[in-house]
Amino acid sequence: MSGNSPVVYFYDPEVGNFHYGPGHPMKPQRLAVTHSLVLNYGLYKKMNVYKPYRASYHDMCRFHTEEYMQFLQQVTPGNVAEFTKCLSSFNVGDDCPVFEGLYDFCSRYTGASLQGAAMLNNNQCDIAINWSGGLHHAKKFEASGFCYVNDIVIAILELLKHHPRVLYIDIDIHHGDGVQEAFYLTDRVMTVSFHKYGNYFFPGTGDMYETGLESGRYYSLNVPLKEGIDDNSYAFVFKPVITEVIKCFRPSAIVLQCGADSLASDRLGCFNLSFKGHGECVKFVKDLKLPLLVLGGGGYTLRNVARCWTYETSLLLDETISNEIPYMEYFEYFGPDFTLLSDKGSNDNPHNANSRTYLENILKYVSENLRNIEHAPSVQMHYTPPDWFDGTDTTAGHQLSESEANNEFYDTKDENKEKDVSCKKPDNNEK
């Protein structure tokens, strides 16, 4: 392992073992499969691999209410009947079920994002990767869209201790509503979300005209897209929007949510991005050379989520990897072609409903709004709250040696591995 790699990567060997329940499209196992590919491509040698810290109750209450966190801490599949009255108020039920180890799951994915933010603050890395994070729908006092605790908001709050302005970019197919809502009134965080909008597509927010309020006016930016968007059309809006945002907002750190449900053939999505088109956005943001926290998010065709995030790990490391999937414990998931960037013909959404005129109009509107913030706000940082930890505390989540990384992770056997072969379109718009 290189001693001073600019990239840190978090992986909790337990995080892939949680189950939302039979038939639920969100499968944490995708994280174990992604990690297995990252290991077997040898990418772990090029970055510092950490078994992350687990977020405490107190950490999670930095955004969420105590009432809601207490509920998450106490509820189990066994005692859920005692909480009947709370379930609907916390929006827990079908989409966001109570499953075994729910609180523990939240604490693990949130801890990794928080530690990533703290290490960026301390200049211990240039890029921090947590594919288990990116749960952008969770609200202050309720669960939403398979998300319970909003690790993104908690990580951004940590970054704000050192950074006057943080940019959040979201390329999940769903609107990044939880993050937008959390920072809707402030000019210190600019949220930029590219997503499918219209026809009641979940969560229903993210119209171009949602731009923020009070001090936050013009600091929420939405790019509502229609079904079937392809690589060229996506890049046509993504690149100029981000370029202009950087110029006007001048962030000193970026958080990038890389939801993989914007890929073609996603079980719940309806966009038509290839791995290269999705990865192009990641590369574009990386090339801005600002401290960067990279997170996962949605993604419901398991093998493609693993392909996407492995490929993007290689892009973040500037490493070229073979298109042939290395032999590993989930090898059979990648048949029949066993390639990384498989050129699937199974295109569910061949029609790109985004006309050039439609996209040009969005660009024009965004550009007009950004003109209002042409000068980056000067943030008076009178008081910097104490760091959550300085990243050198070994109890806070430890770095794995090469052999440790290898052994620990090669040994994990998931007896319940469930192959996600379903690519059928849902009959309703889930997340």
Sheet holding 253-257, edge to edge: 220-225, 189-196, 166-170, 253-257, 292-295, 127-130, 7-10, 48-51, 398-399
Contact at 8 Å (CB) between 156 and 167? Answer: no
Least Å distance, CB 195 to Zn ion, is: 8
Question: In the stretch 355-384, what mask flags binding to Zn ion with x, by CB under 5 A?
Answer: ------------------------------
Say whether 393 counts as a known binding-site residue. Answer: no
Locate 321 and state its tokens: 């990897």
Nearer to Zn ion, 201 or 236 (CB): 201
Contact at 8 Å (CB) between 112 and 130? Answer: yes
Per annotation, catalytic residue among 35, 136, 137, 195: 137
Quick one: CA torsion of 197, 203, 209, 210, rounded to 10 degrees?
Answer: -150
Q: Give dist(CA 131, CA 248) in Å, integer.
A: 29
* Interaction between residue 298 and Zn ion (CB under 5 A): yes
Nearer to Zn ion, 43 or 223 (CB): 223
For the stretch 173-207, what's the b/e string if a residue is b when 16 or more beta carbons lie within 10 angstroms of its beta carbon? bbbbbbbbbbbbebbbbbbbbbbbbeeebbbebbe
Least Å distance, CB 260 to Zn ion, is: 9
Give 215's contacts (C-beta < 8 A, 6+ positions apart). Answer: 185, 186, 187
DSSP string, 106-124: HHHHHHHHHHHHHHHHTTS
* CA dihedral sign of residues 342, 352, 296, 160: positive
Q: How far is CA 116 from the centre of its chain?
A: 13
Nearer to Zn ion, 234 or 249 (CB): 234
Please count the residues of this chain forming the interface with Zn ion, following the rule CB under 5 A.
Answer: 6
Nearer to Zn ion, 134 or 279 (CB): 134
Say whether 311 counts as a known binding-site residue. Answer: no
Q: Give dist(CA 273, CA 264) in Å, integer.
A: 5
Least Å distance, CB 84 to Zn ion, is: 29
Give 354's contacts (C-beta < 8 A, 6+ positions apart). Answer: 225, 226, 228, 229, 233
Judged by CB under 5 A, the stretch of 44-52, 295-303, 322-330, 362-370 that binds Zn ion is: 295-303
Say whether 299 counts as a known binding-site residue. Answer: no
Say whether 261 counts as a known binding-site residue. Answer: yes
Judged by CB under 5 A, the stretch of 61-69, 160-168, 170-178, 183-191 that binds Zn ion is: 170-178
Other Cβ atoms within 10 Å of 42 Cβ, number: 11
Closest CA to 126 of 395, 282, 396, 316: 316
Least Å distance, CB 427 to Zn ion, is: 18
Say whether 59 counts as a known binding-site residue. Answer: no
Nearer to Zn ion, 163 or 431 (CB): 431
| The binder of Zn ion chosen from 172, 210, 280, 420 (CB under 5 A) | 172
Q: Residue 342 to residues 127, 252, 336: CA-CA distances in angstroms?
A: 27, 36, 10
Say whether 300 counts as a known binding-site residue. Answer: yes
Judged by CB under 5 A, the stretch of 38-46, 166-174, 311-319, 363-371 that binds Zn ion is: 166-174
Closest CA to 112 of 10, 8, 7, 28: 10
Region 202-261 residues binding Zn ion, contact defined as CB under 5 A: 259, 261
Is 35 annotated in the active site? no
Nearer to Zn ion, 251 or 259 (CB): 259
Closest residue by beta carbon to Zn ion: 298
Least Å distance, CB 277 to Zn ion, is: 17
* Interaction between residue 420 and Zn ion (CB under 5 A): no
Least Å distance, CB 243 to Zn ion, is: 25
* Interaction between residue 397 and Zn ion (CB under 5 A): no
Region 106-125 residues binding Zn ion, contact defined as CB under 5 A: none
* Interaction between residue 291 and Zn ion (CB under 5 A): no
* Interaction between residue 174 and Zn ion (CB under 5 A): yes
Q: Give dist(CA 420, CA 75) in Å, integer.
A: 28
Nearer to Zn ion, 193 or 233 (CB): 193
Least Å distance, CB 170 to Zn ion, is: 9
Closest CA to 266 of 195, 210, 165: 195
Question: In the stretch 22-51, what mask flags binding to Zn ion with x, by CB under 5 A?
Answer: ------------------------------
Q: Give dist(CA 374, CA 363) in Å, integer.
A: 16
**Residues placed in the known binding site:** 95, 145, 172, 174, 261, 300
- What residues line the site for Zn ion (CB under 5 A)? 172, 174, 259, 261, 298, 431
**Residues placed in the known binding site for substrate:** 95, 145, 300
Catalytic residues, by residue number, are 137
